[in-house]
Chain A
Amino acid sequence: MTTAIADAGHTPGVRYGSISQGRRRTLYWSYFFLILFVIFFLTPPVYMFITSLKSSAEISAASNPWWVYNPTLSNYADLLTQKTYLIFFRNSAVVSLCVVTITMLISVLAAFSLARMKFWGSATLATGVFLAYLIPDTLVFIPLFKTFAFIHDKTGIELINHWWVLIILLPTLTVPFCTWIMIGYFASIPKELDEAALIDGAGYIQMLTKIFIPVALPGIIAAMIFCFTVSWANFLYGLAFTTSADQLTLPVGIVTTLIRGDVYAWGQIMTGALLGAAPPLIIYAFLMDYYIAGLTAGATKG
């Protein structure tokens, strides 16, 4: 597109109106800001990648930080053979997948009933869901901790310092948000669609599985991506509720095991973070984009 405009601008003997000129200027500016944006957001990962290829000696040497003189994969090899790092990875993966599953089960059902079944208090409940989302996790982790301690005192069930307890904790963050966006998505589906399904002989469950979920799939996938990111990247709950090395998730594990006192294993930290960032990145960049594009093509209002 840009070449076509540039060519048109150079054709001799023809005066061009302000439309193509304005268009070109707009393009220049948009590229300018896009490049700025790319630099701003891609510098940290690039720096991480460069550092991950360096040995500890090269990192501490006062050489050019943006260049690798003796590239090595030792950081990768060390981490991937270290049992604790693989445990962090497994913990994070299991927690995130379980949280996504639990959240979707709860919030799709909740959103469907709040959006479509008018029952006593449904509007208040929907607002309540939104308010619950507004409460930050920094505000609730201490009360939650206290609650767990109380449960331990009363029943003897130990909930603290187990990685799986995050499967119960993280939905407190993800369910309200996912429910809220799903309510919006379901509400945008025309009412006649469920009436048609009702007349066609569908019950509420069939209406949900055969009409609502397929039609709202782009929204459900967006909610799933959000949910996965939140649980994969969650630091606070992991830090507060788990302490033993074999119970940590990736974000907490990297920080607690690779920083010993004031000794920072920079190479391994960077490698660990980079590998840790890979799964959401892959999901974002390839799978989901492709999936959403394929689905939205035929899935809007009929």
Chain B
Amino acid sequence: MAQVALRNIVKTFDKTPAVQGIDLDIADREFIVLVGPSGCGKSTTLRMIAGLEEATSGEIYIGDQLVNDVPPKDRDIAMVFQNYALYPHMTVFENMSFGLRLKKFPKAEIKERVQGAARILDITELLDRRPKQLSGGQRQRVAMGRAIVRNPKVFLFDEPLSNLDAKLRVQMRTEIKKIHQKVTTTTVYVTHDQVEAMTLADRVVIMNAGRIDQIGSPHEVYHSPKTQFVAGFIGSPTMNMLPCRLVENGSGLTVRLSDWLSLPVPPSRVARYRARVGKELTFGLRPEHIIEGRGDVPPGAAAFEAPLDVVEPMGMETMVYFIVDGVEVCGRVNPAAAGRVGESMRLVADLNQMHLIDPHTQMVI
């Protein structure tokens, strides 16, 4: 059990920067997910914590110890790899006990630990098999078992679910969450899947081009993104983003999206946005905040009519798309209320949930 701290970590591969100055504090027993598109430096960061890559500059602490020059085996970490990396010539038991055997643990303790981990993971009956005789999900469990038996200070997961099919991935995701509740070890988990990030994490770290864009709870990064990248990356379908202009409208403000669509800024946000009047901005609103319009419009929301371009029934809800000045905008409506393609539909935008982004700094205002 230990906290992990990264201080201004930089990593360059032959002059190509991969990680450009990262500061991160991970609390003891916390489940942290590093998420971002491929090439954002998340795996490199994880591998630096593991000691498989050397940081070009900066400091890495595990517990209170500076570990920059500590080899992986002495960092007291365990890692689960994307392709499991099980030793093919060893049985599951031998795979799981390999680290303990190298450290010359007494046989009885090895057996006890392996069986304990196998019980947690429900793989007791697989202990005599070879990796080749296991399914993808079982291999994944063994890989986790190998990490658990070591009882390390920190668990590191490098996209552990990417090689599984969609159904199994969801199942294993729940499994990992359950295991973390049982074995409360500090965990750093890397994924490019934002759903995994949201469901597993205590805190999500969103990385982009070698930098951290935002660190926060899943709720925070979803509802209060700090940058345009975070706003667009988290959430599916992605947040609608439209170029807009902020205009004054008596004592209030209006977001002008096109000739036919202008939306009033809720009074609570007016003070925050006042300084941006007249500027070119980007307007962001998630699809679930554009819903069907029925009866009264709640405060802070605005109703408008829009001709539907595409209608996608999903069962529980229906996605409706309409076009505003060439940009497709998505709304999430009740299937019963969805209109037909080509027809005009009355929609309500909940502007209490709106975001305005400065297109130059890419920061959310």
What does DSSP make chain A's interface, helix, strand, loop or mixed?
Answer: helix
The answer, yes or no, to whether B206 is at the interface (CB within 8 Å) is no
Chain A residues whose CB sits within 8 angstroms of the CB of B51 once the complex forms: 199
Contact B85 A195 (CB under 8 A): yes
Contact B130 A298 (CB under 8 A): yes
A-B contact count (CB 8 A): 76
The answer, yes or no, to whether A147 is at the interface (CB within 8 Å) is no
The answer, yes or no, to whether B42 is at the interface (CB within 8 Å) is no
* Cα(A214)–Cα(B91), bound, Å: 13
Closest A residue, CB atoms, query B94: A210
Of A200, A214, A299, which is within 8 A of B102 by CB?
A200
Contact A211 B83 (CB under 8 A): no
Chain B residues whose CB sits within 8 angstroms of the CB of A215 once the complex forms: 87-89
The answer, yes or no, to whether B293 is at the interface (CB within 8 Å) is no
Chain B residues whose CB sits within 8 angstroms of the CB of A199 once the complex forms: 50-52, 72-73, 77-79, 99
List B residues 116-155 near A (Cβ within 8 Å): 130-133, 139, 146, 150
Chain B residues whose CB sits within 8 angstroms of the CB of A203 once the complex forms: 73
The answer, yes or no, to whether B272 is at the interface (CB within 8 Å) is no
Contact B103 A198 (CB under 8 A): no
Contact B85 A302 (CB under 8 A): yes
Give the one of B89, B98, B150 with max A CB within 10 A.
B89
Chain A residues whose CB sits within 8 angstroms of the CB of B88 once the complex forms: 215, 298-302
Chain A interface size band reads: 20 to 34
List B residues 41-91 near A (Cβ within 8 Å): 50-52, 71-73, 77-79, 81-89
Contact A299 B79 (CB under 8 A): no
Contact B139 A302 (CB under 8 A): yes
Chain B interface size band reads: 20 to 34
Chain A residues whose CB sits within 8 angstroms of the CB of B103 once the complex forms: 201
* Cα(A202)–Cα(B73), bound, Å: 7
Contact A302 B86 (CB under 8 A): yes
List B residues 8-64 near A (Cβ within 8 Å): 50-52
* Cα(A192)–Cα(B131), bound, Å: 15
Chain A residues whose CB sits within 8 angstroms of the CB of B86 once the complex forms: 196, 302
Contact A190 B99 (CB under 8 A): no
The answer, yes or no, to whether A206 is at the interface (CB within 8 Å) is yes
Contact A302 B131 (CB under 8 A): yes
Chain A residues whose CB sits within 8 angstroms of the CB of B133 once the complex forms: 298
Chain B residues whose CB sits within 8 angstroms of the CB of A301 once the complex forms: 88
* Cα(A198)–Cα(B73), bound, Å: 6
* Cα(A202)–Cα(B100), bound, Å: 11
Chain B residues whose CB sits within 8 angstroms of the CB of A196 once the complex forms: 79, 81, 85-87, 146
* Cα(A206)–Cα(B98), bound, Å: 11
Contact B102 A298 (CB under 8 A): no
The answer, yes or no, to whether A193 is at the interface (CB within 8 Å) is yes
Contact A195 B81 (CB under 8 A): yes
Chain A residues whose CB sits within 8 angstroms of the CB of B98 once the complex forms: 197, 200, 202, 210
Contact B87 A211 (CB under 8 A): yes
B34 vs chain A, min Cβ distance (A): 18
Contact B79 A195 (CB under 8 A): yes
* Cα(A203)–Cα(B78), bound, Å: 16
Chain A residues whose CB sits within 8 angstroms of the CB of B85 once the complex forms: 190, 192-193, 195-196, 302
Of A198, A202, A214, which is within 8 A of B89 by CB?
A214
Closest A residue, CB atoms, query B131: A302
* Cα(A196)–Cα(B47), bound, Å: 12
0 or 1 for each of A247-269: is its CB under 8 Å from B? (1 = yes): 00000000000000000000000
Chain B residues whose CB sits within 8 angstroms of the CB of A197 once the complex forms: 87, 98
Chain A residues whose CB sits within 8 angstroms of the CB of B99 once the complex forms: 199-201
Chain A residues whose CB sits within 8 angstroms of the CB of B78 once the complex forms: 199
* Cα(A217)–Cα(B89), bound, Å: 10
User: Chain B: residues with CB nearer than 8 A to chain A?
Assistant: 50-52, 71-73, 77-79, 81-89, 98-99, 102-103, 130-133, 139, 146, 150
Top 9 A-B pairs, shortest CB-CB distance: A302-B131, A192-B85, A200-B99, A302-B86, A201-B73, A196-B85, A302-B88, A298-B130, A214-B89
